[in-house]
Structures are given as structure tokens and as C-alpha cells.
Structure 1
Amino acid sequence: MPEAMITLFGIEALHTIEGFLASYTYEFFWVVFIGIYFAYLGGGLIASEIEDRKMDLTLSNPVSRESVILQKVGALWAPLLILNLGFLAIVFIGTFLIGESIEIIPVLMVHLLSIPYLLACAGIGLVFSVFMRDVSSAQAGAVGVVFILWLIEGIVQMDPDFEWMAYLSPVHYYDVADILIRGEYAFVGAGILTFLFIALLAVSIVWFIKRDI
């Protein structure tokens, strides 16, 4: 395949089950679609309730605005847990049914290290959610930004002059191929993504406290 496609989609070692899972299953489904899904969820956390006026009722009670955001974000544990456990089961059962074997630890690390990445995607959505009243615009903006950042991370690596732009993308700090194929666990990258999520959460809280709904 063209070098551009190999770089963009992380295609390598397709003769192994680890390479197949990294390039097709995780790179396409988990990194792109699940990342977009969490950006979509984040985009609706606050804007949806502002749009349908539920937020007025919520804030009429003795609750702080920061607690509202923290509780909304805290509720993301449910899709995080369900998706991770469900997809883990699919991977292990699927590899068994086709007669392949795969090491358990690298697959578990793929999912564990994906949590900061998915939270960062949700954080991007949350920022859009507190800045916009229209939930559809917030969700579309968040999805668009996450998708564009994924494209940027793959495309700029083909040109050394723009390679620095890859550091702006959350995907740069979560490489499935490194984990599954090479057994390299980017704990520093996970830490950066966690810091990014906390920063996005802090910005969202500060703006939501100040804004007029």
C-alpha cells in the first residue's frame, strides 16, 4: 500500500493476529469511531440540557455548577466500562474461534491506556458543550475536531517540516500498534492525555460558572 496509507492507518505486521487487530480492528473502530463517540457524548453533556431547558430546573436546586459538570462527566464511567468489557470479550472470543492465540496483557493494556484517550475526546466535546447552546452544533464541532486531529496526526508525519503538529493530536499519545505489536506501553502519553482531560474539564467548569444560560 502507499506509504501515506500505511502511516495514516497504522498498517503493519498484518501476517500476525496482533498486527491485524491493531491496524484494522482497533485503529479503525476503537481509535476513530469510539473516540468520535465519546466526543459526541461530551458534546451533549451540558448543551442538551440547556437546549431543552432542563438545566434551569437543575440549577434551581441548591447545587453548584461545577458539581453538575463533575457529575455529568462522572457518568461516563458506564459507557467506558461497558464498551471496554464488551470489546475485550469480542476480541478474545473471536481470536479463539478462528484458531488464533493472543497475549492477554497487551490487549488489556490497549484498553487500559485507551481510557485517558477517550476521556480527552470527551473533554473536547465538553468544551463545545459549555460554549454552545445548540446541542447539534456542539456535537458536530466536537466530532469534527477529533476526526481532524486524527487525520493531522497521520498526515503530518509524512512531512518532517510539519511533524511537530502531530503533538497537537490526542492520537499521537495513544498508539495501538506500539502496544500490541511491539509491547511498548506509553505511560507518559497516558499521563499527558490525563492532564489534557483535566485541563479541558477545568476550562469547561470555569466557563460554565461564568456563562448565562
Structure 2
Amino acid sequence: MTAVLRLESRKRVRGSVILLVVFALLSALYFSMFPGIQAEMDAFEEAFPEYMFDLFGIEALHTIEGFVAAELYAFFWSLLLAIYFAYVGAGLIAGDVQDRRMDLTLSNPVSRESVVLQKVAALWVPVVALNVGVPIVVYVAALAIGESFDPVALAMVHLLSIPYLLVCAGIGLVLSVFVDHVRIARGTALVLVFLLWLVDGVSRLDPDYEWIGDLAPSRYYDETAILVHEEYAFGDAGILLAAFLVLVAVSVVIFTRRDI
């Protein structure tokens, strides 16, 4: 009943470990820079146009919370990790279909619905590994340079990112069941997630068009508000979780009705 889940989970371990190591190295790099540039942060902020800060949601760079939110979470977490989840989601079904492994899987007593759900459930590996390992690294690195985070805010910036990352994976999943070629599915997922993130940022620059960003998943996850202002948007997380469930449901319906 759970053979697909166990197999897919094992496949996610290596990539999750690599990502965790990458984020650990990035954290060490940025935290080592902070003490040396903290005193010059006001001049740094004045050197850049205001729209750059609005575009990326940057605030309070002179504080460790604002600095890490801008340097680590606003780009590497909200964009690059989101793209990674979209990439993984886009390969869940299309990869097996293209390589004809799906025929072998479906020859066993397992439903198509179960295959999709078990493959999605295997995302628990990167979700848990990154959202447990990275905050520990960040917290310890802050202590190492004489700074500290509110542990609740740090935990929430990761907890509330889970629905956002799952939505990005769900976007990839829909493309995975709709497109036979895994490269096309993955490429489209990457571009779509990036464009949605960009639309969210650009729409913030003009109040008349800010509503357009409501279509982007990143609009409902604000790492700076969480870390700097300790604002926890549980309602937005609920919207993202509901969107993820809808994307999974759509994927299941498409996959059960299509020919392979």
C-alpha cells in the first residue's frame, strides 16, 4: 500500500541533504559578513533606490532579523527553494511516464489516485529536513556572532513557508500529469513560479496594480513580516494550504482520466 511512498521518500533523501548543506554554507557566509557591515548598513540602504526594497520586501537591514530575511530567506528560500519544489513536483509523474516506469507501477494492484498521492506525500522528506535543519543552523550561527533570534519567530518563518512550498510543488504536479515530457514540465514549472514571484514583487511598486500580485503564492508568505515584525499570517497560510489541496485534486482528476 505504501511501496511508492517508501521508494519516492528514499529518492528525496540525497537532494534534501545537499540542499541542507548548501543552506548551512550560505548561512555561515552571511552571518560571518554581518558584524563587519552592520555599522555601514545605513549607507548601504541609502545607496539603493527605494523601489528595490519594495520589490524584495526588505526592511531593517541593520538588525540580524532584517538582514537574514533579506539575504537568506527573501531570495534563496522564497525563490530558489520554491523553484526546487516546483522542479521536483513537475517530475513526479512525467518522469515515470516518459521512461515507461509508470506502466510497470500501474501493473501492480495500485490505483492512479494512490500513485499521485503517495508521490506527493514523499515531499515530506525535503520539507522536514529543511525546515528542521536550517532553523537550527541559523539559530546557532546567530549565537556564534553574538546575535540571537526570537525562537518563535524563527520557527514560524519555516512553519508558514511549508504551505507556500507545497503550492509551488503543486504547480509542478499539475504540469507533470498534463505534459508527457519531463523537461517541458520542469521548464514550464520553473518559469511559471519565477514569473509569479516577479509579478508579486513588481505589483507592489504601484498601489493601482498591487491586486495583480494576489494571484502569486509568494504574496501569502512574507518572511520579513514574520522575522522583523513577528506577524504570523495564519489566514494566508490557510489559503495556500487550500490552494495546494486544489492543485493535488486537479492533478488526480487529470491523471485518472488520461491515457498513458
| TM-score clears 0.5 | yes
- TM-score with structure 1 length normalisation? 0.98
The match for 1:71 among 107, 111, 118 is: 118
Measure, in 2, the Cα distance between the counterparts of 1:184 and 1:159. 23
- Letter matched to residue 67 of structure 2: F
Note the aligned Cα RMSD (angstroms). 0.8
Identity of aligned residues (%): 58
Instruction: Give 2:172's aligned residue.
Output: 125
- Letter matched to residue 255 of structure 2: F
How many pairs are equivalent?
Answer: 213
The CA deviation string for residues 151-206 of structure 1, in whole angstroms up to 9 with x for no partner, is: 00010111222211110000000000111111110000000000100010011000
Kindly indicate whether the alpha-carbon contact (under 8 Å) linking 2:164 and 2:217 is maintained by their aligned counterparts in 1.
yes
- Letter matched to residue 114 of structure 1: S
Measure, in 2, the Cα distance between the counterparts of 1:71 and 1:128. 17
- TM-score with structure 2 length normalisation? 0.80
Instruction: Give 1:57's aligned residue.
Output: 104
Give SS of 2:230's match.
coil
Kindly indicate whether the alpha-carbon contact (under 8 Å) linking 1:4 and 1:155 is maintained by their aligned counterparts in 2.
no
Instruction: Give 2:86's aligned residue.
Output: 39
Instruction: Give 1:166's aligned residue.
Output: 213
Instruction: Give 1:83's aligned residue.
Output: 130
The match for 1:142 among 179, 189, 200 is: 189
> Which 10-residue stretch deviates more, 154-163 or 109-118?
154-163
- Letter matched to residue 190 of structure 2: V
Kindly indicate whether the alpha-carbon contact (under 8 Å) linking 2:55 and 2:205 is maintained by their aligned counterparts in 1.
no
Measure, in 2, the Cα distance between the counterparts of 1:158 and 1:84. 31
Q: CA deviation at 1:40?
A: 0.5
Measure, in 1, the Cα distance between the counterparts of 2:221 and 2:80. 15
Q: CA deviation at 1:94?
A: 1.2
- Letter matched to residue 163 of structure 1: E
The match for 1:106 among 153, 176, 187 is: 153
Instruction: Give 1:92's aligned residue.
Output: 139
Query: Radius of gyration: which is bigger?
Result: 2
Kindly indicate whether the alpha-carbon contact (under 8 Å) linking 1:95 and 1:101 is maintained by their aligned counterparts in 2.
yes
Instruction: Give 2:76's aligned residue.
Output: 29
Gaps of 5+ in 2: 1-47
The question of 1:193 aligning with 2:255 is answered: no
The CA deviation string for residues 82-106 of structure 1, in whole angstroms up to 9 with x for no partner, is: 1112211220121111111111000
The CA deviation string for residues 20-75 of structure 1, in whole angstroms up to 9 with x for no partner, is: 11111111111111111100010000000001000000111111101000000000
Kindly indicate whether the alpha-carbon contact (under 8 Å) linking 1:13 and 1:20 is maintained by their aligned counterparts in 2.
yes
Measure, in 1, the Cα distance between the counterparts of 2:195 and 2:159. 24
- Letter matched to residue 62 of structure 2: H
